[in-house]
Amino acid sequence: MRYFFLYILVLGFTMNVFAQNTSKNDNYVYVISLKQGEKSLGEIKIRLFPDVAPQHCRNFDSLVSIGFYNGTAFHRVVPGFMMQGGCPNSKNKPKDTWGMGDPSQRKIPAEFSKLKHKRGTISAARTNDPNSATSQFFICFKDAPWLDGNYTVFGEVVDGFDVLDKVEKTKLEKQPYSSEVSSPVEKIEMTIKKISK
């Protein structure tokens, strides 16, 4: 009888934890569709962590709701590291402004946590100021432990890792403003929509 009670207790606790983990992100699931020219690269399904980085998640959700990201690019691809996008300039401004951002954008304060930068992590891009995140974000191709505790992790990829691999292999050239070979030769354009879980 004692073992049966313990089993029920453990089962109840497990179900409660599972319910918490699956319900808190129900409204923060999105699909990022990518194309390069007329060619579709596929879709990346992501979920956010509003319990860990509420301000970043609200900001992202708000921008998605107004179609802000649609037509923007992943303008920076560093093989073995990450892909970065979401700059408003990448919609229709000269390529040498991509990644520079818009000074009028609202800045989001850092929300550092114990979450790790691993393959599929979504984190907020920023300047040297930890409280300067706006719309730009990056997705890790590989683990990047040197970023842990220094950049705000606010989501993760749950499906579409093959699309990350395609982007990582795209043809690159030097950035217009640096010697880093990380600028896709052909624009990688995104569209983001919110979905139900």
Q: What is the pLDDT of residues 125-149, one digit of tens each?
A: 999 999 999 999 999 999 999 999 9
pLDDT at 155: 98
CA neighbor of 168 nearest in space, from 157, 182, 155: 182
CATH of 27-195, one of 2.40.100.10, 3.20.20.70, 2.40.110.10, 3.40.630.30: 2.40.100.10
pLDDT of 14 over the 90 cut: no
Q: What is the residue whose two structure tokens read 């319900």?
A: 23
CB-based contact 88:135 (threshold 8 Å): yes
Of 8-17, 82-91, 93-102, 175-184, least confident by mean pLDDT is 8-17
Q: Angle at CA 18, nearest 5°, toward 17 and 23?
A: 105
